[in-house]
Copies of this chain bind each other. A is one copy, B any other.
Amino acid sequence: MPEPTSPLDAAGLRHRVQAALESFLAEQTAVLAAVSPDLAPVSAAVRDFVLDGGKRLRPAFAYWGWRGAGAEDTDEVIAAVASLELLHACALIHDDVMDDSDTRRGQPAVHRRFAGLHRAGQWRGDNGAFGRSAALLVGDLCLVWADIALNTSGLSNDALRRARPTYDQMRVELMSGQYLDVLEQALGTGSIERALHVARFKSGLYTIERPLRLGGLLADADEELLSAYSSYGLPLGDAFQLRDDVLGVFGNPEETGKPAGDDLREGKRTVLVATALAHADAAQASLMERLLGDPALSESGVSALREVIVDTKALQEVEELIESRTAEALAGLAATPIDDGAREVLRQLAEAATARSV
């Protein structure tokens, strides 16, 4: 799909978010450089990570939450919504440390990048440990920078004060959801209901409904509009995470930026996997239990698991769930009291967030 027709680029958003992030990170790079020239690899890692990838989904929902509330397009709101990419960077960088992932967005994960620096410099100690420590701190820094970017966006103090509780709630939910995700892998309950709950907290809420609401609150939206946003954003967040789970198993690595089958190697307890387990016969269940979460899982192991997921109709059921949640979201959107321009972009964003290819 050519760039200009993407709803993610409506109002020139992608380009403007990029410019806002470049400008913010240039300032922060200077701050770090004043502390020590040894921090150059830290700022470079964040710049490369944040500027070279990402669909800017969260800024888009926050921006259209603002526009949908009738507020004017300003550079300040762009700076504010761009901050969500820094929060997302923290989540991904820490996630990759926890999952010991090799790649992200088609590049080495941040902890691998720092391990490589350690190896190239022939420094003391273990290069994996150095990489993990550096990535932990780089992620922490992104969490703080996200906060700074929002607070220094130039939006009024009243606007920031209105949005703050939702911003904080979103951050707490994100960390909580990530913990529940790690716990679910450890427990391996195989419960579909639990997997849906985890999906909502670890990603659904903070990708769509919370950013949308944040934009609305920044623009002083009333309760009626915020509640309409929720009726669109909550089911769409579920659909988004379910699509992400499907892509994690069946996605094209060139599009996802992660090796094929990585979610299976990590033993992620997604709704897709839980559904397959629920429908599996004894042979299929035993194959799943044996292969899921095996870090050394081969291509043929990945194929065998995919086959079970298809044969048990888990894939079909999850696709139907994505469809019904998306339909629910679009029904919510139809009843949302906003102008037709914003509605049309949000309709297209719903498609983009749940599309079969990314």
Contacts and interface: CB of A to CB of B under 8 A. Distances in A.
A187 B134 CA distance: 14
Contacts of A90: 140
Total copies of this chain within the assembly? 2
Contacts of A187: 121, 123-124
A91 B179 CA distance: 19
A185 interface: yes
Interface in A152-168: 157, 161, 164, 168
B143 A168 contact: no
A145 B187 CA distance: 27
A98 B133 contact: yes
A252 interface: no
Nearest to A151: B164
Given A143-B143, A173-B35, A180-B36, A267 B124 contact: yes
Select the residue from A94, A136, A161, A168 with max chain B CB neighbours within 10 A.
Answer: A136
A267 B148 contact: no
Contact-size category for A: 35 or more
Given A31-B172, A182-B130, A186-B123, A94 B267 contact: no
B168 A161 contact: no
A178 B130 CA distance: 12
Contact of A147 (B125, B141, B147): B147
Contacts of A31: 172
A97 interface: yes
Interface string A246-259: 00000000000000
21 contacts: A32-B172, A35-B177, A36-B180, A39-B176, A98-B133, A121-B186, A124-B188, A134-B179, A134-B182, A137-B175, A137-B178, A137-B179, A140-B143, A141-B172, A143-B144, A144-B172, A144-B175, A145-B172, A147-B147, A147-B168, A157-B161
